[in-house]
Structure 1
Amino acid sequence: MSEQVSVSVDDAHVERIDEVAERCRAAGMDVHYVLAAVGMITGSIESGDVRTALGALPGVAAVEQQHTFRLPPPSSPIQ
């Protein structure tokens, strides 16, 4: 099962975020979005080993799991 992650790019590499995204792809991340304005790369990975590899890449400040929250529909009795 794949895991959704966000990669924070360190300040020294923000201007070269596309290079960091390529390194993430090479490490096994399926890159969905490169958000240059905020220094983030989002995507999915298949294992914790890939998360560890991403964290060791030059230019990566942090790798965090994305969390999804779903609210019940407005007509639901529980709000």
Structure 2
Amino acid sequence: MSEKITISVADDAIDRIDEVVAALEDGGMQVEQVLRPIGVITGSADTQHVQALGAVTGVAAVEPQRTVQLPAPESDVQ
């Protein structure tokens, strides 16, 4: 099963973020977006690969993406 994730790149690896992206792809991540100025990479990976992505050199953190949905305007939620 695939899971959407956000990768935070370590401060000392931001200047080589393309190498981190390549290593993540080799580890099974499907990269969707690379936000170079802030050192964030988004994408998805099979649940079985997510934990291993945290061991990639240059990765500071791996977090699941959260989804927030507001209730419909006509709902009774106030």
TM-score after normalising by structure 1: 0.90
Query: 1:3: how far off?
Result: 0.7
| Identity of matched residues, % | 49
Give the match for residue 67 of structure 2: 68
Instruction: List gaps (5 residues or longer) in structure 1.
Output: none
Query: 1:42: how far off?
Result: 0.5
Query: 1:75: how far off?
Result: 2.2
Task: Report SS of the residue matched to 1:20.
Answer: helix
Query: 1:74: how far off?
Result: 1.6
**Aligned equivalents of 1:31, 1:39: Cα separation in 2:** 14
RMSD: 1.1
Letter in 2 for 1:36: R
**Aligned equivalents of 2:19, 2:3: Cα separation in 1:** 22
Give the match for residue 19 of structure 2: 19
Q: Provide, for residues 14-73 of structure 1, a one-character-per-residue CA deviation record: whole Å limited to 9, x for no partner.
A: 01111101110000001010011110000001123x112211111001101111011112
TM-score after normalising by structure 2: 0.91
Task: Report SS of the residue matched to 2:41.
Answer: strand
Instruction: List gaps (5 residues or longer) in structure 2.
Output: none
**Aligned equivalents of 2:50, 2:34: Cα separation in 1:** 17
Q: 1:57 aligned to 2:56?
A: yes
Moved over 3 A (4+): none
Give the match for residue 41 of structure 2: 41
Letter in 1 for 2:6: S
